[in-house]
Chains A and B, each alone.
Chain A
Amino acid sequence: MASYTAPLRDMRYVLFDLMEGDGLASLPGFEDFTRDLIDPVLDEAAKICEQVLHPINRSGDEEGCAFENGVVRTPKGFREAYTLFREGGWTSISCDPAHGGQGWPKSVGILIEEMICSANLSFGMYPGLSHGAYVALHAHGSDELKDTYLPKLVDGTWSGTMCLTEPHCGTDLGLLRTKAIPEGDGSYKITGTKIFISAGEHDLTENIIHLVLARLPDAPKGVKGISLFLVPKYRLKEDGTPGASNGVSCGSIEHKMGIKASSTCVMNFDDSIGWLVGEPNKGMRAMFAMMNTERLSVGVQGLGLAEASYQGAVTYARERLQGRALTGVKHPDKPADPIIVHPDVRRMLLTHRAYVEGSRALAAWVGRAIDHEEHHPDPAVRAEAEEFVALMTPVVKALLTDLGFEATNLGMQVFGGHGFIREHGMEQYVRDCRIAQIYEGTNGIQALDLVGRKLPAHAGRNLRRFFHPVSAFIEAKVEDEQLGEFVQPLAKAFVRLQQATAQVARAGMANPDEAGAAATDYLRLLGLTALGYLWAKMAEISLAKLNDDPDGFHRAKVATARFYVERVLPQTNALFAMVMAGGKSMMDFDEAAF
């Protein structure tokens, strides 16, 4: 059976060495978050993920959710695990202390999210969606709505959902039809059908708070006529406890490729009473508050699954005895050599490892920027951090889920036929990861967001928040004797990225199809260059610690950095060529010939 051990050593490295986590406590509001508090919290989160959530991951996948007469039953053990998770206060970790939250920094929260995703992504969906609803409500709800609903969302007594998609509209929300009729008393009657609603119905909490996009009677057409409403499953009684049913029902649940223990529901709203969140017709804005957080979280899902898969692959590669090393017998005492002796197996494991550790560093970098965006005393620093986060949000979402899927596939490949069968849990990681490339905006949409919105915004200022630190680092270190082998390839990739950026801006300005054609390859080019930068920085940090490295951690870090710049970063060559080739070969292709 698959096992999972939280990679606390690497997490602490990323947090305290790479991101100088000790500096967190100097931010106003974060005074308590010193290392002596962060360490035990990471330890305890790891314990719960390893001992409570992971053991019900595969059983949850096998059993799935059950649907009967409108009621959804989560798999065996999920209720108990959720109760423990909730009572432990883990639903409230990143929430506002004013509403009962623990106010933890994002750069720590993101590591705990990763552990949850590694241990049991399906389980993580339930508190994850609640958190999305929390974010939207916290940012845009009236004080009355916040006081009524936030404390119970924060402490996990109730859960939340985000109801966007309808049968005929997913990416293009402008088409949505769900209606909201004002009742004259400040409330609205909501009617319509939503699909693909994660955690829409389940048996973990006593009430479910839906955030629903709908149209007012006089709303303009398209996305400018969409408003956001809060619609509880049960209306609240005078005392604030759940009372009568609110016309919200689950029509069915989907049968999916992965995350089978997460209920994906068709939700019907039939004259359900709801309340406006934010301003009329400004629902998309309110929704984006949540969507940006969720996009980062989805990126972290790819990372979490990749980590879990890596652990399985390494263990198997050491234990599986099969054939002999190409250069002669390595373990004469055994009937065959473990497959880890083979170059191709090492190629898979190191690619996997370089993706995972690089992705973790990128997630932490963005997490740290969010902490600055929200807590730094200097408004200029806050603004710069916000621009960086805006730029990197689609990159984290798409790159980490694409790499996550490639990595989980490699993990399965290491197992050979034993990866394809269900017993070892490796194919589950692949299946669970697949949705992360699709939901919260497909990765194609993320690429368009990057190229169409984030690059041109503020005359390219967002991009500078990324380009400046990279070029400053290259300039300072390119001549460094020890670091040169890492920085020189990075410098080359960076030049390619700069040229590609100019090309996308130029060609895209003249013809939007050119930007669209380049988008996906451009996003990956930018993402792999960002990872190259982080790998070079990690090489620098670990090279300086090689003298005090009893467990070989830093030696392995430097070696993985070397693998990354030699064997992964060259992908940027091909990506550069593809971006520069333009989109003519696609767009000229006769549609009838497809």
Chain B
Amino acid sequence: MKVLVAVKRVVDYNVKVRVKSDKSGVETANIKFSMNPFDEIAVEEAVRLKEAGTATEIVAVSVGPQAATETLRTALAMGADRGILVQTEAEIQPLAVAKILKCLAEKEQPGLVLLGKQAIDDDSNQTGQMLAALLGRPQGTFASKLAVADGSVAVTREVDGGLETVALELPAVVTADLRLNEPRYASLPNIMKAKKKPIETVTPEALGVDVAPRLITLSVEEPAKRQAGIKVADVATLVEKLKSEAKVI
């Protein structure tokens, strides 16, 4: 079975993100980028499937600028076999990514498409769901466990009330949640080998995908500063304030 994994280049989770002075977005110059942590979990799961003999080939896909090659190399160093960069400098929204991935899935015919449940930059949490819909294939989102059996995959999902297990017919789309696995550190020899693994570069235009944004960003603002708290005299006052001021009970 072939596995397609989508990986996104995002501002590293350690970076304190700053809004640009013109409020058009966030500062990205000279900032550390790395693979979206949820996508790392998706890659790790794919590599584990391959190590278990379930998957035969792992294709990593990234949509973004030339620098996203680095993100693909990270996936290759972790154990993916080859990469596809869909190169574009344009702003790419979840629907466009889903369309691109649909196009590649039709070409590559993977048994499983793995994605992170969301990217930590825009937190959209839409691409996997849109992709499943466009492909007309079953989806298992927020996966914390995955078991592939003959022609189907059992996906344990993290839902509000606890865990839910769904059985999906393959091919299927699965998005990874935090507890699915703990991604490995790439080994030095594998980082070196990754440099020699093939990465194919295509463009959205060549794939015939219209990536024009459907949403317009009006302005990006810093979240409001947290106000200092107050001390209340006793529990009765606290309950009173929760009722009358916070209006949460």
Q: Which residues of A are interface residues toward B (Cβ below 8 A)?
A: 5, 8-9, 32, 36-37, 39-41, 43-44, 47-48, 52, 84, 87-90, 92-93, 102, 550-551, 553
Cβ contact within 8 Å between A36 and B30: no
Cβ contact within 8 Å between B188 and A84: no
Kindly report which residue of chain B lies nearest to residue A51, judged by CB atoms: B185
Q: How far is the CA of A32 from the CA of B192 in the complex (A)?
A: 9
Q: Which of B69-77, B86-94, B145-153 contacts A (4 or more CB under 8 A)?
A: B69-77
Cβ contact within 8 Å between B74 and A40: yes
* Beyond known contacts A5-B14, A88-B188: 7 more, CB 8 A cutoff: A36-B70, A39-B70, A40-B194, A52-B185, A89-B188, A90-B188, A551-B29
Cβ contact within 8 Å between B30 and A44: no
Q: How far is the CA of A346 from the CA of B189 in the complex (A)?
A: 43
Cβ contact within 8 Å between B188 and A102: yes
Q: How far is the CA of A586 from the CA of B21 in the complex (A)?
A: 63
Chain A residues with CB under 8 A of B179: none
Task: Indicate if B27 sits at the interface (CB-CB under 8 A).
Answer: yes
Q: How far is the CA of A583 from the CA of B199 in the complex (A)?
A: 67
Cβ contact within 8 Å between A41 and B191: yes
**Interface flags, B41-75, vs A, CB<8A=1, else 0:** 00000000000000000000000000001100110
Cβ contact within 8 Å between A550 and B29: yes
Kindly report which residue of chain A lies nearest to residue B188, judged by CB atoms: A89
Cβ contact within 8 Å between A43 and B187: no
Q: How far is the CA of A550 from the CA of B31 in the complex (A)?
A: 10
Kindly report which residue of chain B lies nearest to residue A48, judged by CB atoms: B185
Cβ contact within 8 Å between B191 and A44: yes
Cβ contact within 8 Å between B30 and A551: yes
Q: How far is the CA of A41 from the CA of B185 in the complex (A)?
A: 11
Cβ contact within 8 Å between A41 and B195: no
Q: How far is the CA of A87 from the CA of B190 in the complex (A)?
A: 11
Cβ contact within 8 Å between A32 and B195: yes
Kindly report which residue of chain B lies nearest to residue A88, judged by CB atoms: B187
Cβ contact within 8 Å between B192 and A47: no
Kindly report which residue of chain A lies nearest to residue B69, judged by CB atoms: A36
Contacts known (A550-B27, A551-B30); A44 close to B192, Cβ less than 8 A: no
Task: Indicate if B159 sits at the interface (CB-CB under 8 A).
Answer: no
Task: Indicate if B32 sits at the interface (CB-CB under 8 A).
Answer: yes
Contacting B32 at CB < 8 Å: which of A8, A36, A40, A102?
Answer: A8
Contacts known (A44-B185, A48-B185); A37 close to B30, Cβ less than 8 A: no
Q: Can you pick out 21 interface pairs between chain A and chain B where the beta carbons lie within 8 Å of each other? A: A5-B14, A8-B32, A36-B73, A37-B192, A39-B70, A40-B74, A40-B77, A40-B186, A41-B191, A44-B188, A48-B185, A52-B185, A88-B186, A88-B188, A89-B188, A90-B188, A93-B188, A102-B189, A550-B29, A550-B30, A551-B31
CB distance from B247 to the nearest CB of A (A): 29
CB distance from B10 to the nearest CB of A (A): 14
Contacts known (A8-B32, A48-B185); A40 close to B191, Cβ less than 8 A: yes
Task: Indicate if B109 sits at the interface (CB-CB under 8 A).
Answer: no
Chain B residues with CB under 8 A of A84: 185
Kindly report which residue of chain A lies nearest to residue B77, judged by CB atoms: A40
CB distance from B11 to the nearest CB of A (A): 13
Contacts known (A102-B192, A551-B29); A40 close to B73, Cβ less than 8 A: yes
Cβ contact within 8 Å between A37 and B191: yes
Kindly report which residue of chain B lies nearest to residue A50, judged by CB atoms: B14
**Main SS at interface, chain A:** helix
Chain B residues with CB under 8 A of A5: 14
Q: Which residues of B are interface residues toward A (Cβ below 8 A)?
A: 14, 27, 29-32, 34, 69-70, 73-74, 77, 185-192, 194-195
Cβ contact within 8 Å between A553 and B188: no
Contacting A89 at CB < 8 Å: which of B14, B69, B73, B187?
Answer: B187
Kindly report which residue of chain B lies nearest to residue A44, judged by CB atoms: B186
Chain A residues with CB under 8 A of B27: 550
Kindly report which residue of chain A lies nearest to residue B76, judged by CB atoms: A40
Chain A residues with CB under 8 A of B30: 9, 550-551, 553
Q: How far is the CA of A487 from the CA of B194 in the complex (A)?
A: 44
Kindly report which residue of chain A lies nearest to residue B14, judged by CB atoms: A5
Chain A residues with CB under 8 A of B194: 40
Q: How far is the CA of A422 from the CA of B198 in the complex (A)?
A: 50
CB distance from A66 to the nearest CB of B (A): 28
Chain B residues with CB under 8 A of A553: 30
CB distance from B197 to the nearest CB of A (A): 12
Q: How far is the CA of A48 from the CA of B185 in the complex (A)?
A: 7
9 pairs of A and B residues whose beta carbons are closest in the complex: A89-B188, A550-B29, A88-B187, A551-B30, A89-B187, A89-B189, A37-B195, A44-B186, A40-B191
Kindly report which residue of chain A lies nearest to residue B186, judged by CB atoms: A44
Cβ contact within 8 Å between A40 and B70: yes
Kindly report which residue of chain A lies nearest to residue B28, judged by CB atoms: A550
Chain B residues with CB under 8 A of A40: 70, 73-74, 77, 186, 191, 194
Chain A residues with CB under 8 A of B188: 41, 44, 88-90, 92-93, 102
Q: How far is the CA of A90 from the CA of B189 in the complex (A)?
A: 9
Cβ contact within 8 Å between B195 and A36: yes
CB distance from B121 to the nearest CB of A (A): 18
Indicate the member of A43, A84, A87 with the most B CB atoms within 10 Å: A43
CB distance from A38 to the nearest CB of B (A): 10
Kindly report which residue of chain A lies nearest to residue B194, judged by CB atoms: A40
Kindly report which residue of chain B lies nearest to residue A100, judged by CB atoms: B189
CB distance from B20 to the nearest CB of A (A): 10
Q: How far is the CA of A553 from the CA of B70 in the complex (A)?
A: 23
Q: How far is the CA of A84 from the CA of B185 in the complex (A)?
A: 8
CB distance from A130 to the nearest CB of B (A): 16
Cβ contact within 8 Å between A43 and B195: no
CB distance from A379 to the nearest CB of B (A): 29
Chain A residues with CB under 8 A of B32: 8
CB distance from A403 to the nearest CB of B (A): 28
Indicate the member of B31, B73, B74, B187 with the most A CB atoms within 10 Å: B187
Q: How far is the CA of A52 from the CA of B190 in the complex (A)?
A: 19
Chain A residues with CB under 8 A of B191: 37, 40-41, 44
CB distance from A473 to the nearest CB of B (A): 28
Indicate the member of B14, B29, B185 with the most A CB atoms within 10 Å: B185
Q: How far is the CA of A52 from the CA of B73 in the complex (A)?
A: 22
Contacts known (A36-B73, A44-B191, A102-B192); A88 close to B29, Cβ less than 8 A: no
CB distance from A100 to the nearest CB of B (A): 10
Chain B residues with CB under 8 A of A52: 185
CB distance from B163 to the nearest CB of A (A): 28
Chain B residues with CB under 8 A of A90: 188
Chain B residues with CB under 8 A of A37: 191-192, 195
CB distance from A555 to the nearest CB of B (A): 12
Q: How far is the CA of A36 from the CA of B14 in the complex (A)?
A: 22
Q: How far is the CA of A52 from the CA of B184 in the complex (A)?
A: 12
Chain A residues with CB under 8 A of B29: 550-551
Q: How far is the CA of A503 from the CA of B95 in the complex (A)?
A: 76
Q: How far is the CA of A76 from the CA of B137 in the complex (A)?
A: 48
Chain B residues with CB under 8 A of A41: 188, 191-192
